[in-house]
């Protein structure tokens, strides 16, 4: 039995232990979870947007607020990973060159990039690192 199916069965078993579920609900939940777990192991696909969409002609329109669309296959992701690009026989550098992106362009949804940037500002790791050196001098 596939591991994603075993994981789905474990989740549904736990759910059925805390509430009454009909046979139909159990079967439906197992199918949905198994498919979701399988898709998650193959890549970070945004739920409901994993189908092939119309590929934009302008590469700048592929990087959106909540998703990045692969210009090779049309699938939408939060992060266009090196692993996914390898399925198309491309490295991130080759992908960017092929589609006219600047070298420093990140292949990540704009909203996610902004959230990560804000989180790093909150953590202020550069101050913590510098603070340790000042304490040693005293």
- pLDDT value at residue 69: 92
Same domain, yes or no, for 78 and 120? yes
Same domain, yes or no, for 34 and 100? no
Per residue in 46-96, pLDDT tens? 544 444 567 887 888 999 999 999 999 989 999 999 999 999 999 999 999
Domain tally, the chain = 2
User: How much of the chain is helix, strand and coil, in % rounded to 5?
Assistant: 60, 5, 35
pTM of structure:
0.55
Of residues 135 and 54, the one with the higher pLDDT is: 54
Same domain, yes or no, for 76 and 137? yes
Q: How many residues does the chain have?
A: 138
Q: Find out whether 107 and 68 touch, Cβ atoms under 8 Å.
A: yes
Same domain, yes or no, for 33 and 80? no
Q: Which residues form the domain of 7?
A: 3-42
């Amino acid at each position: 039995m596939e591991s994603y199916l075993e994981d789905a069965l474990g989740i549904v078993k736990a759910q059925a232990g805390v509430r009454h579920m009909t046979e139909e609900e159990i079967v439906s939940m197992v199918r949905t979870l198994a498919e979701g777990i399988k898709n998650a192991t193959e890549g970070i696909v945004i739920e409901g947007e994993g189908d092939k969409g119309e590929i934009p002609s302008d590469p700048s329109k592929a990087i959106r607020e909540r998703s990045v669309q692969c210009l090779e296959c049309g699938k939408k992701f939060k992060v266009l990973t090196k692993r996914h690009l390898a399925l198309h026989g491309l490295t991130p550098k080759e992908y960017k060159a092929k589609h006219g992106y600047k070298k420093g362009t990140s292949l990540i949804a704009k909203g996610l990039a902004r959230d990560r940037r804000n989180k790093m500002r909150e953590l202020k790791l550069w101050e913590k690192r510098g603070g340790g050196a000042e304490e040693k001098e005293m």
